[in-house]
């Protein structure tokens, strides 16, 4: 299939996602997400049925990263498993780096990507470590679970 999610395509997808976060470009970050978007953390699941709800959540998340001093979120490792041609599970180890390249935080996030009409989209995000990591650094994320 022409648009099959290969390991190389997953790497490219998360690289462009990382670039959007590094640029603090909310529109580009939003382009990577499906709607509705479901986010699950240890605090529980949250569904953002409307695009604007997801936009507000992701904007608050980006502000938490800005306060932390993040210049570049590096997708250090990605493992993908294709369930079929339209659903792929990806596990990504993120390392957040400062402007001088120092690692300031890191965690693993699990994603379910769905093939949409406009390409692959993040439909479900499971982030068991991120909220605690941000809080431990004194930079709480959004009021709701973090991505």
Give per-10-residue mean pLDDT for the chain (147 aa): 72 95 97 96 91 95 91 91 92 94 93 94 93 77 52
- 95 in a domain, yes or no? yes
CB atoms within 10 A of CB 125: 20
What pTM was estimated for this model as a whole? 0.87
- Structure confidence at residue 29 (pLDDT): 97
The residue ranges of DSSP E strands in the chain, in sequence order, are 33-41, 44-48, 72-82, 87-97, 103-116, 119-126
**Structural domain count of the chain:** 1
- 123 in a domain, yes or no? yes
- 74 in a domain, yes or no? yes
- Structure confidence at residue 134 (pLDDT): 78
- Structure confidence at residue 147 (pLDDT): 43
The C-alpha atoms of residue 112 and residue 108 are separated, in whole angstroms, by 14
- Structure confidence at residue 143 (pLDDT): 53
CB atoms within 10 A of CB 14: 23
Q: Which residue segment(s) compose the domain that 120 sits in?
A: 7-136
- Structure confidence at residue 5 (pLDDT): 80
- 146 in a domain, yes or no? no
Q: Residue 138 has what DSSP assignment?
A: T
- 147 in a domain, yes or no? no
In this structure, what token pair is assigned to residue 88?
A: 């792929």
The CATH number linked to 103 is 3.10.450.50
Tell me how far the alpha carbon of residue 63 is from its chain's centroid: 14
């Amino acid at each position: 299939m022409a648009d099959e999610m290969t390991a190389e395509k997953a790497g490219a997808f998360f690289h462009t996602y990382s670039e959007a976060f590094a640029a603090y470009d909310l529109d580009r970050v939003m382009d990577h997400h499906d709607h509705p978007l479901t986010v699950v953390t240890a605090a529980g699941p949250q569904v953002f049925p409307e695009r604007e709800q997801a936009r507000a959540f992701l904007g608050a998340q980006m502000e938490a990263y800005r306060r932390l001093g993040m210049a570049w979120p590096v997708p250090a490792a990605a493992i993908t498993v294709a369930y079929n041609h339209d659903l792929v599970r990806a596990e990504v180890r993120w390392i957040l780096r400062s402007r001088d390249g120092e690692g300031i935080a890191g965690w693993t996030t699990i994603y379910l990507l769905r093939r949409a009409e406009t390409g692959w989209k993040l439909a479900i995000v499971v982030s068991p470590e991120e909220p605690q990591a941000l809080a431990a650094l004194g930079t709480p994320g959004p009021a709701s679970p973090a991505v």
